[in-house]
Chains A and B, each alone.
Chain A
Amino acid sequence: MNLWRRVASLVLGLTAGLMLAGCWSSKEIDQLSVLIGVALDRNESKNAASEGRLEVTIQTLTTGASSLNSQGQGQTTSKPYINMIATGNSVYEAIREMSLRTDKPPIGHHLKAIVVSADLAKHNSLENLLDFFMRDNDIRPGSLVFVSSGQANRVFELKRSEEIPSFHMAGITENRYRTSKILPPTTLGKIKGEIKGGSSMLLPNIIVRDGKLKLSGAGVIRGKTKKLVGLLSEEEVLGVVWATGSGKGGVMSAVDPATKRPLVYEVNSMHSTIRSFVSGDRVSFNVSIRSIGRMMENWSKPEESSNQQFLDDQTKLFERKILDLVEQTIEKVQRQYKTDVLGFGDRLRIEHPRAWERLKANWDERFAEADIRTDVKIRIEDYGLVVE
Chain B
Amino acid sequence: MNTGSNNQISTQQAIVILINYILAAGILTLPRTSAEQVGTPDVWLAVLIGGGIAIAAGSVMARLSARYPGQTFFQYSSVIAGRWIGGIVSLAMIVYFISISAFEVRTMAEVTCFFLLEGTPNWAIVIAFMWVGIYLVSGGIDPIARLFEIILPITIIIFAIVTLLSMRIFDFERLRPVLGLGFSPVLKGVKTTTLAFLGPEIMLIITAFMKRPPAAIKVVVGGVSIAAAFYLATVILVIGGLSLDGARASTWPTIDLIRSFELKGLLLERFDSLLLTIWIMQIFSTFTITLYAAAKGASDLFKREFKPFAYCFLPIIFLCAMLPKNINETFQLGDTIGDIALYLFGVVPLLFLVLSLLRRRKKG
Query: With A194-B245, A346-B173, A349-B180 as given contacts, are A142 and B118 in contact (CB-CB < 8 Å)?
Result: no
Asked if residues A193 and B177 are in contact (CB atoms below 8 Å), the reply is no
Closest residue of chain A to B243 (Cβ to Cβ) is A193
Interface string of A245-268 (1 = CB under 8 A from B): 000000000000000000000000
Is A362 on the interface with B (CB-CB < 8 A)? no
A-B contact pairs, 14 of them (CB 8 A): A21-B124, A24-B117, A24-B120, A24-B124, A25-B118, A140-B259, A140-B260, A141-B256, A187-B260, A190-B260, A192-B249, A193-B244, A196-B246, A353-B181
From residue B38, how far is it (CB to closest CB) to chain A in Å? 13
Asked if residues B250 and A192 are in contact (CB atoms below 8 Å), the reply is yes
Closest residue of chain B to A134 (Cβ to Cβ) is B249
From residue A313, how far is it (CB to closest CB) to chain B in Å? 36
Is B115 on the interface with A (CB-CB < 8 A)? yes
Closest residue of chain A to B247 (Cβ to Cβ) is A193
Interface string of B166-198 (1 = CB under 8 A from A): 000100010011001100000000000000000
From residue A183, how far is it (CB to closest CB) to chain B in Å? 15
From residue B247, how far is it (CB to closest CB) to chain A in Å? 8
Residues of B contacting A356 in the complex (Cβ-Cβ under 8 angstroms):
180
A142–B168 CA distance with the chains assembled, in angstroms: 12
Is B262 on the interface with A (CB-CB < 8 A)? yes
Is A351 on the interface with B (CB-CB < 8 A)? yes
A193–B242 CA distance with the chains assembled, in angstroms: 7
Asked if residues A189 and B180 are in contact (CB atoms below 8 Å), the reply is no
Query: With A193-B242, A346-B173, A350-B176 as given contacts, are A24 and B249 in contact (CB-CB < 8 Å)?
Result: no
Closest residue of chain B to A141 (Cβ to Cβ) is B260
A275–B114 CA distance with the chains assembled, in angstroms: 44
Which residue in B119, B181, B242, B262 is a CB contact (below 8 Å) of A24? B119
Residues of A contacting B242 in the complex (Cβ-Cβ under 8 angstroms):
189-190, 192-193
Known: A137-B114, A142-B261. 5 other contacts (CB 8 A): A24-B120, A25-B119, A141-B259, A192-B242, A354-B180
Residues of A contacting B177 in the complex (Cβ-Cβ under 8 angstroms):
349-351, 353
From residue A151, how far is it (CB to closest CB) to chain B in Å? 29
Is A197 on the interface with B (CB-CB < 8 A)? yes
From residue A341, how far is it (CB to closest CB) to chain B in Å? 16
Query: With A140-B260, A189-B260 as given contacts, are A25 and B117 in contact (CB-CB < 8 Å)?
Result: yes
Is A357 on the interface with B (CB-CB < 8 A)? yes
Asked if residues B119 and A196 are in contact (CB atoms below 8 Å), the reply is no
The B29-44 residues at the A interface (CB cut-off 8 A) are: 40
Interface string of A192-210 (1 = CB under 8 A from B): 1111111100000000000
A21–B128 CA distance with the chains assembled, in angstroms: 12
Which residue in B173, B247, B250, B270 is a CB contact (below 8 Å) of A350? B173
Residues of A contacting B261 in the complex (Cβ-Cβ under 8 angstroms):
142
Asked if residues B246 and A193 are in contact (CB atoms below 8 Å), the reply is yes
Asked if residues A354 and B245 are in contact (CB atoms below 8 Å), the reply is no
Residues of A contacting B114 in the complex (Cβ-Cβ under 8 angstroms):
137
Which residue in B173, B249, B270 is a CB contact (below 8 Å) of A196? B249
Asked if residues B245 and A142 are in contact (CB atoms below 8 Å), the reply is no
A350–B40 CA distance with the chains assembled, in angstroms: 11
Interface string of A355-380 (1 = CB under 8 A from B): 01100000000000000000000000
Which residue in A134, A141, A197, A351 is a CB contact (below 8 Å) of B245? A197
Interface string of A120-137 (1 = CB under 8 A from B): 000000000000001001
Closest residue of chain B to A199 (Cβ to Cβ) is B245
Asked if residues B250 and A354 are in contact (CB atoms below 8 Å), the reply is no
B: residues with CB less than 8 A from A are: 40, 114-115, 117-121, 124, 169, 173, 176-177, 180-181, 242-250, 256-257, 259-262, 270
Asked if residues A189 and B246 are in contact (CB atoms below 8 Å), the reply is yes
A142–B246 CA distance with the chains assembled, in angstroms: 13
Which residue in B181, B247, B260 is a CB contact (below 8 Å) of A142? B260
Residues of A contacting B180 in the complex (Cβ-Cβ under 8 angstroms):
349-350, 353-354, 356
A9–B306 CA distance with the chains assembled, in angstroms: 27
The A84-101 residues at the B interface (CB cut-off 8 A) are: none
Asked if residues A190 and B117 are in contact (CB atoms below 8 Å), the reply is no
From residue B342, how far is it (CB to closest CB) to chain A in Å? 30
From residue B128, how far is it (CB to closest CB) to chain A in Å? 10
Specify which of B244, B247, B249 lies most central, judged by the most chain A CB atoms within 10 Å of its CB.
B249
A349–B181 CA distance with the chains assembled, in angstroms: 10
Query: With A187-B260, A353-B180, A357-B181 as given contacts, are A137 and B118 in contact (CB-CB < 8 Å)?
Result: yes
The 9 A-B residue pairs with the shortest CB-CB distance in the complex, in nearest-first order: A193-B246, A353-B180, A197-B245, A25-B119, A196-B249, A189-B260, A24-B120, A193-B243, A141-B260
Closest residue of chain B to A137 (Cβ to Cβ) is B114
From residue A105, how far is it (CB to closest CB) to chain B in Å? 12
Residues of B contacting A357 in the complex (Cβ-Cβ under 8 angstroms):
181
Residues of A contacting B40 in the complex (Cβ-Cβ under 8 angstroms):
353
Closest residue of chain B to A109 (Cβ to Cβ) is B270
Residues of B contacting A350 in the complex (Cβ-Cβ under 8 angstroms):
173, 176-177, 180
A79–B176 CA distance with the chains assembled, in angstroms: 48
A15–B270 CA distance with the chains assembled, in angstroms: 34
A134–B253 CA distance with the chains assembled, in angstroms: 12
Which residue in B120, B247, B257 is a CB contact (below 8 Å) of A25? B120
Closest residue of chain A to B262 (Cβ to Cβ) is A142
Asked if residues B246 and A190 are in contact (CB atoms below 8 Å), the reply is yes
Residues of A contacting B245 in the complex (Cβ-Cβ under 8 angstroms):
193-194, 196-199
A356–B40 CA distance with the chains assembled, in angstroms: 12
Closest residue of chain A to B124 (Cβ to Cβ) is A21
